[in-house]
Chains A and B, each alone.
Chain A
Amino acid sequence: MNAPAFAPAADRRNALDRAHIGDIEGALGTVRAFDTGPRVTSRRKLATLLAVLGPGVVVMVADHDAGTISVFAQAGQNHGMRLLWVLLVLCPALYVTQEMVARLGAVTGSGHARLTLERFGKLWCAFSLGDLMILNLATLVTEFIGVALALSYFGVPRYVSAPAAAILLVAMTATGSFRRWERAMCVMIAANLTLIPLAVTSHPRAASVAAGFVPAVGNGAAGSTVLLLVALVGTTIAPWQLFFQQSNVVDKRITPRWLRYERADTAIGAVMFAACAGAVLILSATVAAAAGPHRPFTDAGAVAHAIGAHLGVGAGGVFAIALLNASLLGAGAVSLSGSYAIAEVFGVKHSLHRRVGDARAFHASFAAIVALAAGVVLVPGLPLGALTTLVQALAGILLPSTLVLLLILCNDEQLLGPLTNGRALNAVGAVVVGSVLALSTLLTLTTVLPRMPFAIALAVTLALLLAAGVVLGASNVRHRRPPRAGASLTPWQRQTWTAPMLELVAPATPTRPRLLALALLRAYVALIAGLLLLKLAGVLPG
């Protein structure tokens, strides 16, 4: 027989919402659902890339939000260019983690929250979803603070700017057209990128910029620098991004056929992020150096005024507009990640393709969390700076669990088949997760037990991490994987491999590495939560 061999194709694809099946309707192009033929000419390849371009770029540039600008500006002001090298590490780390969720989304057709529920059960799902919502609300508040700071540069009071921003965000999301939403995002991304020419026009010293890319630690005590490093990592790699990109890839109807293009999208986004964040750091460092004697960092609004004072009012205005855009873009993506997650878990319609009346719970949860965050910002006497720090710290603590679960999911052969993580990718992923874990643990130890000498905290963290790494590594090396599911597939079948319907997938095999990783994660969460609770209860000395 010579009938065409159909892979478990797009038509039999698992979907939680019918709107997730169909043509890719991107801001910059369309790919019809049936148009899966080879892309031979470079023109066709480019057209496909432009159509697929979106989730990766949006998530990365949205990641460069109010909190990120504030932390990178702080790094520039307090340490000059000395911490620029961090970006060289963060950019690939971002790509590795985001590529994993993009792959999970394309292959399983399911968002991250739903997948957590299906593969790890109710408890982990409730934990992740609860974390996500608390963190999202806190992050959203920082975004609205960013909006308020940016518009106060132009003399707009926050009682006007915060509600206006909330209304704009809801209007942008509730259009009932994925393409319109993505176009709005593209405009904001473009506005965000104006930071790069702005940084160039500030005439930074080329030699000091180049020196910044050599790994070194900044001024001052090691402890405070580590806290700043944790904040840098914590704002850059955040749980909402993982949830957002996976759901958005699904909603954009990207199938494994387009995974290669989605990877390019993610890589382009990661570079854009590094460029924007680097621009902020350089700008802030240059302006701080020009201002003479060192002043402590206050907020991003003060940076706009400092830029206005040294490069002209126009430049300050450009920075303020970029800050406004970054905050709005971040707010849109962060709240969307929450709405996607809630609707996925509860099994109600969730798609940007749907109008308000057609997916009420999805759009209502978006509007509710945006309104709540905008309301919090209007509370008088809110300690804004402290809140930003709290968000970063909280994210740094809660992030590791999300990352560990992600790594386990990406080793689930029943879901990913031939697209499961290989050993090399697992090794890179383990390094990324391990570093985030180390920084988070260090942060918790130094905040909860401030009298502990820094060197001891560092030693304890490294010892714990090393022990966990050795145990896990040993079990992984001893664990023989069954021959990979894709061994007998043709290249085309491997490229278009799609996970079966979630309800038909057998429960995850309880392999030893999986059980061990979950047990260690449980111990970690219990330890950190216990320490924080003791601290809050006032048992531990502060």
Chain B
Amino acid sequence: MIRSVPPLPAATAERIADTMFALSTPSRLQILVCLRPEARTVSEIVAAVGMEQSAVSHQLRVLRDHSVVSMRRVGRTRRYALSNDHVGALIDDALEHIRALERSRARERSEAQAG
């Protein structure tokens, strides 16, 4: 018997796609990975990622506009953090997904060489 899956409401699908769009450029992923352990300031992100300050600021705005990253003012400094643990989980799972793919590909290759 085929299990029926209720379709995603169109608006929800749109919102998920928007969220995934925020994760869809290499530089934004670098920033997100850098924010994974803890909240950071722009200059800390710049130092960690090795991109220009203006580029980091721009990408942070995109990430905030998509509610993936949140900003908090502490005194005069602004600290950026992942909006919640789910964003962190998304990044972790994406990383795991890539690693799993690479592992299985490596296994196939070694089997082909052995056989």
Interface residues of A (CB under 8 A from B): 15-18, 122, 346-349, 501, 503-504
- Please state if B59 and A347 are interface contacts (CB–CB under 8 Å): yes
Task: Say yes or no: A347 contacts B17, CB within 8 Å.
Answer: no
Q: Which residues of A contact B58 (CB under 8 A)?
A: 347
- The listed residue (B21, B26, B27, B65) touching A15 by CB distance below 8 A is B21
Q: Enumerate chain B residues within 8 angstroms of A17, measured Cβ to Cβ.
A: 21
In the complex, the answer to whether B54 meets A347 with C-beta atoms within 8 Å is no
State whether A347 and B25 are in contact (beta carbons under 8 Å apart), knowing that A18-B17, A18-B18 are contacts in the complex.
no
Main secondary structure of the interface of B (DSSP, over half): helix
Please state if B25 and A503 are interface contacts (CB–CB under 8 Å): yes
Known: A15-B21, A18-B21, A347-B59. A122 touches B26 (CB 8 A): no
Q: Which residues of A contact B21 (CB under 8 A)?
A: 15, 17-18
Instruction: Give the nearest-CB partner of A15 in chain B.
Output: B21
User: A126 to nearest B CB, angstroms?
Assistant: 12
Of B27, B55, B65, B66, the most chain A CB neighbours within 10 A belong to: B65
Q: B65 touching A503 by the CB < 8 A rule?
A: no
CA distance A501 to B54 in the complex (A): 17
Is B72 at the interface (CB under 8 A from chain A)? no
Could you mark each residue 51-86 of chain B with 1 if its beta carbon is under 8 Å from any beta carbon of chain A, else 0?
Answer: 000110011011001100000000000000000000
Residues of B within 8 A of A18 (CB): 17-18, 21
User: Majority SS of interface residues in chain A?
Assistant: loop
A347 to B58, CA, bound (A): 6
Number of B interface residues in the complex (CB < 8 A)? 14
What is the distance, in angstroms, from A494's C-beta to the closest C-beta of chain B?
Answer: 26
- 25 A–B contacts, CB within 8 A, in A order: A15-B21, A16-B62, A17-B21, A18-B17, A18-B18, A18-B21, A122-B54, A346-B61, A347-B58, A347-B59, A347-B61, A347-B62, A347-B65, A348-B61, A348-B62, A348-B65, A349-B65, A349-B66, A501-B25, A501-B26, A503-B25, A503-B26, A503-B27, A503-B55, A504-B26
Cβ distance B32 to chain A, nearest Cβ, rounded Å: 15
Give A349 to B59 CA distance when docked, in angstroms: 12
| Cα(A76)–Cα(B90), bound, Å | 65
What residue of chain B has the Cβ atom nearest to residue A114's Cβ? B58
Bound-state CA distance A6–B110 (Å) is 29
Q: Which residue of A lies closest to B57 (CB)?
A: A347
The distance from the CB of B10 to the nearest CB of chain A, in whole angstroms, is 13
CB contacts (< 8 Å) of B59 on chain A: these are: 347
Closest chain A residue to B65 by CB distance? A348
User: Could you tell me which residues of chain B, from 1 to 32, have a CB within 8 Å of some CB in chain A?
Assistant: 17-18, 21, 25-27
A16 and chain B: residue at smallest CB distance: B62
